[in-house]
Amino acid sequence: MSTSTATVPKIIAAGFHALSDPLRISTLELLRNREQCVCDLCEVLGVTQSKLSFHLKILKEAGFVNSRQDGRWIYYSLNSSQFEVLQNYLKDFSSISKITPAPPCCD
């Protein structure tokens, strides 16, 4: 799967946006070890299904979670490949040892 260079910033921005909310991070933590039903997530997080569904939609659009329907319930699990995308992006910054100053501007 090839990704254009114009698409990469959008993928990275969507990932950081999805990680910018404490409820979404708590949801990801709960999904870290196993797939879970939305009803169980609501109970543990103490939120309504409509509120959690809003946040799960953002996580799903950013590629962090997968979903599958079984009867009337939806089960969510982590999509590790999106975490790898952000990890690789941030790893590139860890190799920066010294920022080169910009040349003087023209008068």
Structural tokens at position 30: 């709960």
Nearest to 84 by CA among 61, 64, 58: 64
Strands 36-37 and 65-70, by their bridges, are unpaired
Model pTM? 0.80
- Per residue in 1-16, pLDDT (tens digit) is 455 566 778 889 999 9
Q: How many domains are there within the chain?
A: 1
The residue among 41, 47, 82 whose CA lies nearest residue 64 is 82
- Name the band, by pLDDT with cuts 50, 70 and 90, for residue 29: very high
Q: What is the CATH number of the domain that holds 61?
A: 1.10.10.10
> Is residue 56 domain-resident?
yes
In a domain, 106, yes or no: no
- Tell me if 55 sits within 8 A of 89, measured CB to CB: no
Distance CA 47, CA 92 (A): 37
Please give the residue range of the domain that contains residue 87: 7-92
